[in-house]
Amino acid sequence: MVTLENGTNFVADAVIVTVPVGILKANLIEFIPKLPDWKVAAIADLGLGNENKIALRFDKVFWPNVELLGIVAPTSYACGYFLNLHKATGHPILVYMAAGRFAYDLEKLSNESAANFVMQQLKKMFPDASDPVQYLVSRWGTDPNSLGCYTYDLVGKPEDVYDRLRMPVGNLFFGGEAVCMDDHQGSVHGAYSAGMMAAENCQRYLLEKLGHVQNNLPLVSVVRHEMLETTNILQISRM
């Protein structure tokens, strides 16, 4: 049974948990019975990073036709780069990427202040840069539905932490970028492939519970590979 904040209940034979690791770390979901110690330890042993994007849309392009524009600063704290979405989409948009402690500090600013700060960085490269006609600011670190952006390895933690996080607990299955098996942790593609894997495992569990043979239905993994072969994936947000 899954109970929502408003008291609504959903009853199912199995559950796939795909909430961000930040939600699991903050214990915002109450599991009854509690998750076993090895699962709790796996959640604690993963690091949780933050990266925010400030997207700036202009009325015209004034920058070179390159994939990214890097910013060199006196300290690593102020370093960042702009992704050139015009090269990928044809729209006059630059996206400023801020990670680590810098990303958390940007979340303390208003949207306007964050956009103004980014424009100051951009005008160091292009003094005659025009002001944006629209901007969007992400706040993954304080978003109550994420509380972070991506997982990473903590120094000195066990090598099997991802395997333990991936393992089901009874009829509870776990998906999301953190449990990706194809080295795409921290990306949308990783979350997608991990979700397909969790769905396949859940399907196998339900078929075994019902006494059916697994081969009676097409495997999700087969569908996944066929889908990926016909999809042109643009990996522009992960360098």
What CATH number did the domain enclosing 74 receive? 3.90.660.10
- Kindly state whether residues 112 and 190 are assigned to the same domain: no
- Kindly state whether residues 87 and 118 are assigned to the same domain: yes
pLDDT per position as a tens digit, 30-59: 999 999 999 999 999 999 999 999 999 999
pLDDT per position as a tens digit, 142-201: 999 999 988 888 899 888 888 899 999 999 999 999 888 777 878 888 899 999 999 999
What distance in Å separates the CA atoms of residue 224 and residue 30, rounded to the nearest whole number? 32
Tokens of 157: 């933690």
What is the number of helices (H) and of strands (E) in the chain? 8, 11
Number of domains in the chain: 2
- Kindly state whether residues 167 and 118 are assigned to the same domain: no
Report residue 223's pLDDT band, with 50, 70 and 90 as the boundaries.
very low
Return the residue matching tokens 């214990």.
27
- Kindly state whether residues 35 and 69 are assigned to the same domain: no
Q: Lowest-confidence range among 8-12, 44-48, 185-189, 214-218? A: 214-218
What distance in Å separates the CA atoms of residue 21 and residue 151, rounded to the nearest whole number? 7
Report residue 235's pLDDT band, with 50, 70 and 90 as the boundaries.
very low
- Kindly state whether residues 157 and 187 are assigned to the same domain: yes
Kindly tell me if the per-residue pLDDT of 219 is higher than 50.
no
Higher-pLDDT residue of 71 and 5 is: 5
Q: Residue 190 is part of which domain span?
A: 2-47+148-210
Kindly tell me if the per-residue pLDDT of 237 is higher than 50.
no
Q: What's the mean pLDDT when you consider all of the chain?
A: 86
**Domain's final residue, options 142, 157, 173:** 142
> Is 201 inside any structural domain?
yes
